[in-house]
Chain A
Amino acid sequence: MTISAQIPPRTEFTRRRLGDEAFITLLVVLAAVALFLTASLLVPNFFQLQNMINLVTNNWAVISLGVGVTFLLVSGNFDLSVGGVVALSGVLSVWFAQSAGGANALSTGLGMPYFLAIACALLGAMAIGGLNALFVVRFGVPSIIVTLGTMMVARGIAQVITHGSQRNTNLPEEFGVLGNLYMFGTSVKLPVVLMILLILIAVFIEKKTVFGRKTYWIGANAVAATLSGIDRAKHITYLYLFSSAIAGVVGILLASEFKSGFSNRGMLMEFDALVIALLGGVAIAGGFGSVVGMFFGAIILAVVTSAATGLVLSPDWQFTLKAIAVFLAIVVQTWALARRNR
């Protein structure tokens, strides 16, 4: 189609530059490496392969939750329910798997076969995600309020089932297998491998698929996205189900690792997941951020907290350190982007 007869169309406008997102991700990676090297100079025995591996493996649960939380943040929505869902699905998997005739209420479950038990626990977790989607999409309630509510709903149900305590008796033999399975004869457990797989899949979805791109468009301008033919309601529903399913799996694996269902498990994990996403450059307003950034955000947080506690400070300082790291990171990112796009 010829648009303009007078003006011969130019065809090349490919003066490319590094996108803002790649720029921020690079910044986060560099900060993580720099912090690690600084910590290595200051803390004895910090610069060891095993320590590097530990930085990742100790945080598999939060990083996994961070994937779902990152996608939702990019779409312009919060998910604060993931910590509660971790507790709920863990407790459910235990309750469903405990054999029916126990000595007391806390040791009596539904006696399901293990794989049926975890499948049902996962469905329970995803029901919370469905509830999130229902209120956010259908009733238009701000996501921060909805997920704050469902966080308490999920943990509340877990508390009722465990009577505010733990369920750890009368479990089948295979219950403790998944969470403690060492892979390929190393010290790396199955959950860590699953986390790495999840990250790879998430990066593929984010960078290479239509679904990933739609998430950015919705986050950048939900009205324009709808008028451009994107089904926002469906997309946000998928994202909440996706996030709650991840949290459900994390809860089931943690319950398996400790062979118990504990209603306080995953406490404050939703905030840690949010913190690492923000450290990794995900914009709270939506439309901006990446899973890779979130991953290195988690590394930054792990380095800062483990180095400082290994150095001089008592573990009581962890929260304060997290706060300082978040504030610094957000100020630096905002400043760097503003400077770049001036």
Chain B
Amino acid sequence: MDREQQTPVLSVVGLTKDYPGVRAVDDVTFSIEAGSVHCLVGENGAGKSTLVKMLTGALQPTSGSMKVRGQPFFPANPQEARDGGIATLFQEMHVVDELTVMENLTLGMERSRFGFLVKSDLDDRVVRTLNAIEPSIDATARVSSLSVAQKQIVEIARAASSGASVIIMDEPTAALSEREVERLFGVIRRLRESDVTVIYISHKLDEIFQLGDAVTVLRDGRHIATAPLSEIADRSDLIRMMIGRNVFQTYEPRKTATGETVLEARSLANHLLDDVSFDIKRGEIVGFYGLVGAGKTEIARALFGADKASGSITFKGNPVGHSPRQAIEAGIALVPEERRTQGLFTNLSIRENIPVMNLRKLSDKGVYRSSEELAAANEYVGKLSIATDSIDKHTEKLSGGNQQKVVFAKCLFADADLLLLDEPTRGVDVGAKMEIYNIIKNMADTGKSVAVFSSELEEVLGICDRIFLLYSGALIEEMANGPEVDIAHILNVVTGGGEGAVQ
């Protein structure tokens, strides 16, 4: 295949998008080869989402043009973009839980005559596509019974069976365990072989090197570079292009961890957890690492009183209550797994989001003091450098990293002594990740305790003092972090190979 002679499957020229006061995408020009995996990288607010929204018809560019297979392409809405051959997988799941896998796959593509559904070969076709991608998923199963990873695969199958020539994937591995990621990569490579182009957006740079053919780097809405990945030396090279500084994360032992136990969990058990016991000490950062479904979220929610679990949990010597309200009062705060549905009030402004976990601090005999709400919002927007032009901005309009910082601000405002962070940097770019890690370390340095529940090994190894390895609802092993940690051993344990190693 001679690259020079091919028309690019997609090209954009001078693409620009203005918002009042902000130029989100600034004169971006690049093109994408057919049948390649083209990665799109950039920091928070670099313009990736806006660019994707223009490609998929959700937003109209202020100026500039797009071409698909040489033809001018101006989608006025997502349907037109799909008709033009561009399908999208979103960061958040866009599947309907109440329908079956099959119904989800054919959703919006049903043939009808006079408003009545008619049979077509559609069903057979989508089943074939699904089987090619992931035979273990039953097409008649209800989607609500699938795991997050399986739902994702249903979404990919839907895009693939719609006959799209370009599939945009925005952070597709954010919710997947390492093994599932491998499976997804297999799917993507098969798509590439059948001449489908994948635009792959991810903050996990290793994935980009593993999978990508070419990469486009955006920074502050501008196009920095488009190059074959073979021409990029290594991760730090790419990171330098993205942010113009070097931020490789390495663990530095901290000295603030004390021997004083603040939280004691004994024999936690529920439908997923199996006899989990551990301690958390004052001033330390502990990590809970395991694959999706290993029980991380369940432990966090049990500690927070959001889910029921048998066993005992004592915090600073007292039993923890059975509701989030009691947990917060005792000094425990949770940054939940799904920030948009569980952490944020997306229809409310930054100012209205921050105080909710500590209303006592802002009120006097039930009367709310708005002026202090204003002061608190200003303080935390400054402290956490949340990028916004106004504290009255709806949190819906913020980028992923800034949304997560608002959720952090909520928890910091609660003055908690123990912070539970469930996937704290999911869907957050490299720069914001570093800032969030700094926030976490600073918390611990001031004598608070932090528990990080993560499926990213790099994250756990980067910041945690002590690491608990989980597999299938059980705590298999506890280890101290340090330069000599055996990564091969960790991966072996969390994938189920470490049963013999129970202490």
Q: A210 contacts B363, CB within 8 Å?
A: yes
Q: B392 contacts A228, CB within 8 Å?
A: no
Q: A13 contacts B390, CB within 8 Å?
A: yes
In the complex, what distance in Å separates the CA atom of A326 from the CA atom of B329?
Answer: 44
User: B114: shortest Cβ distance to chain A, in Å?
Assistant: 28
Is B372 interfacial (CB-CB < 8 Å)? no
Q: B392 contacts A17, CB within 8 Å?
A: yes
Q: B344 contacts A221, CB within 8 Å?
A: yes
Contacts of A2 in B (CB 8 A): 442
User: B43: shortest Cβ distance to chain A, in Å?
Assistant: 14
With contacts A4-B385, A13-B377 known, is A287 near B347, CB below 8 A? Answer: yes
With contacts A7-B385, A11-B378, A208-B367 known, is A217 near B392, CB below 8 A? Answer: no
Q: A13 contacts B378, CB within 8 Å?
A: yes
With contacts A9-B385, A212-B368, A228-B357 known, is A3 near B442, CB below 8 A? Answer: yes
Q: B357 contacts A16, CB within 8 Å?
A: no
Which of A1, A5, A9 touches B446 (beta carbons < 8 Å)?
A: A1
Contacts of A213 in B (CB 8 A): 359, 368
**Those of B353-368 within 8 Å (CB) of chain A:** 356-357, 359, 362-363, 366-368
Contacts of A226 in B (CB 8 A): 306, 324
Contacts of A212 in B (CB 8 A): 368
With contacts A221-B344, A225-B356, A229-B329 known, is A209 near B367, CB below 8 A? Answer: yes
B-side interface residues, number (CB < 8 Å): 53
Is A15 interfacial (CB-CB < 8 Å)? yes
Q: B383 contacts A4, CB within 8 Å?
A: yes
Counting chain A CB atoms within 10 Å of each CB, which of B304, B368, B410, B439 scores highest? B368
With contacts A4-B383, A14-B378, A230-B325 known, is A224 near B345, CB below 8 A? Answer: yes
**Those of B313-342 within 8 Å (CB) of chain A:** 323-325, 327-329, 334, 336, 341-342
Is B252 interfacial (CB-CB < 8 Å)? no
User: B74: shortest Cβ distance to chain A, in Å?
Assistant: 19
Is A227 interfacial (CB-CB < 8 Å)? yes
Is A174 interfacial (CB-CB < 8 Å)? no
In the complex, what distance in Å separates the CA atom of A1 from the CA atom of B444?
Answer: 11
Is B348 interfacial (CB-CB < 8 Å)? yes
Q: A4 contacts B329, CB within 8 Å?
A: no
Q: B368 contacts A13, CB within 8 Å?
A: no
Q: B336 contacts A211, CB within 8 Å?
A: no
A-side interface residues, number (CB < 8 Å): 39
Is A12 interfacial (CB-CB < 8 Å)? yes
Is A186 interfacial (CB-CB < 8 Å)? no
Contacts of B341 in A (CB 8 A): 221, 223-224
Is B205 interfacial (CB-CB < 8 Å)? no
Contact string against B for A residues 216-241, beta-carbon threshold 8 Å, 1 for contact and 0 otherwise? 11001101111111110000000000
Is B346 interfacial (CB-CB < 8 Å)? yes
User: B306: shortest Cβ distance to chain A, in Å?
Assistant: 6
Q: B394 contacts A341, CB within 8 Å?
A: yes
In the complex, what distance in Å separates the CA atom of A211 from the CA atom of B363?
Answer: 10
**Nearest B-chain residue to A12, judged by Cβ:** B378
Which of B329, B391, B414, B439 touches A3 (beta carbons < 8 Å)?
A: B439
Q: A10 contacts B382, CB within 8 Å?
A: yes
Is B267 interfacial (CB-CB < 8 Å)? no
Is A288 interfacial (CB-CB < 8 Å)? yes
Q: A228 contacts B356, CB within 8 Å?
A: yes
**Those of B260-306 within 8 Å (CB) of chain A:** 304, 306
Question: Chain A interface secondary structure, helix, strand, loop or mixed?
Answer: loop
Is A19 interfacial (CB-CB < 8 Å)? yes
Contacts of A229 in B (CB 8 A): 324-325, 327-329, 356-357, 414
**Nearest A-chain residue to B19, judged by Cβ:** A342
Is B389 interfacial (CB-CB < 8 Å)? yes
With contacts A11-B382, A228-B410 known, is A221 near B346, CB below 8 A? Answer: yes
User: B260: shortest Cβ distance to chain A, in Å?
Assistant: 20
In the complex, what distance in Å separates the CA atom of A225 from the CA atom of B343?
Answer: 8
User: B333: shortest Cβ distance to chain A, in Å?
Assistant: 9
User: B108: shortest Cβ distance to chain A, in Å?
Assistant: 23
User: B292: shortest Cβ distance to chain A, in Å?
Assistant: 20
Is B206 interfacial (CB-CB < 8 Å)? no
In the complex, what distance in Å separates the CA atom of A64 from the CA atom of B327?
Answer: 38
Contacts of A5 in B (CB 8 A): 438
In the complex, what distance in Å separates the CA atom of A230 from the CA atom of B358?
Answer: 10
With contacts A13-B391, A225-B356, A229-B325 known, is A287 near B435, CB below 8 A? Answer: no
In the complex, what distance in Å separates the CA atom of A287 from the CA atom of B396?
Answer: 14
Contacts of A19 in B (CB 8 A): 349, 392
In the complex, what distance in Å separates the CA atom of A19 from the CA atom of B132?
Answer: 51
Contacts of B385 in A (CB 8 A): 4, 7, 9-10
In the complex, what distance in Å separates the CA atom of A13 from the CA atom of B376?
Answer: 11
In the complex, what distance in Å separates the CA atom of A210 from the CA atom of B435?
Answer: 32
In the complex, what distance in Å separates the CA atom of A3 from the CA atom of B444?
Answer: 11
Is B388 interfacial (CB-CB < 8 Å)? yes
**Nearest B-chain residue to A286, judged by Cβ:** B347
Contacts of B347 in A (CB 8 A): 220-221, 287-288
Is B421 interfacial (CB-CB < 8 Å)? no
Is B379 interfacial (CB-CB < 8 Å)? yes
**Nearest A-chain residue to B358, judged by Cβ:** A229
Which of B324, B374, B410 touches A14 (beta carbons < 8 Å)?
A: B374
With contacts A2-B442, A3-B383, A221-B345 known, is A227 near B378, CB below 8 A? Answer: no
User: A15: shortest Cβ distance to chain B, in Å?
Assistant: 5
Is B428 interfacial (CB-CB < 8 Å)? no
Contacts of B368 in A (CB 8 A): 208-210, 212-213
Q: B410 contacts A13, CB within 8 Å?
A: no
In the complex, what distance in Å separates the CA atom of A283 from the CA atom of B161?
Answer: 38
Which of A10, A231, A288 touches B325 (beta carbons < 8 Å)?
A: A231
Is B137 interfacial (CB-CB < 8 Å)? no
With contacts A14-B391, A226-B324 known, is A217 near B345, CB below 8 A? Answer: yes
Contacts of B382 in A (CB 8 A): 9-11, 13
Q: B367 contacts A223, CB within 8 Å?
A: no
Is B381 interfacial (CB-CB < 8 Å)? yes
In the complex, what distance in Å separates the CA atom of A9 from the CA atom of B385?
Answer: 7
In the complex, what distance in Å separates the CA atom of A4 from the CA atom of B389?
Answer: 20
Contacts of B327 in A (CB 8 A): 229
Q: B442 contacts A211, CB within 8 Å?
A: no
User: B232: shortest Cβ distance to chain A, in Å?
Assistant: 27
Q: B356 contacts A217, CB within 8 Å?
A: yes
Q: A228 contacts B324, CB within 8 Å?
A: yes
**Those of A1-50 within 8 Å (CB) of chain B:** 1-5, 7, 9-17, 19
In the complex, what distance in Å separates the CA atom of A10 from the CA atom of B180?
Answer: 42
Complex A-B: 29 CB contacts under 8 Å: A3-B438, A3-B442, A4-B435, A4-B438, A4-B439, A10-B382, A13-B377, A13-B381, A13-B382, A14-B391, A15-B389, A15-B390, A16-B392, A19-B349, A210-B363, A211-B366, A213-B359, A216-B348, A217-B352, A220-B345, A221-B341, A223-B342, A224-B336, A225-B345, A227-B342, A228-B324, A228-B328, A229-B414, A230-B356
A-side interface residues toward B, CB under 8 Å?
1-5, 7, 9-17, 19, 208-214, 216-217, 220-221, 223-231, 287-288, 341
Interchain residue pairs A-B with the least CB separation, the first 6: A9-B382, A229-B328, A220-B345, A229-B325, A228-B356, A3-B383
**Sample of 13 further A-B pairs with CB below 8 A, known A227-B324, A228-B328:** A1-B442, A1-B446, A3-B383, A5-B438, A10-B381, A13-B391, A15-B390, A210-B368, A213-B359, A217-B348, A221-B341, A224-B336, A228-B357
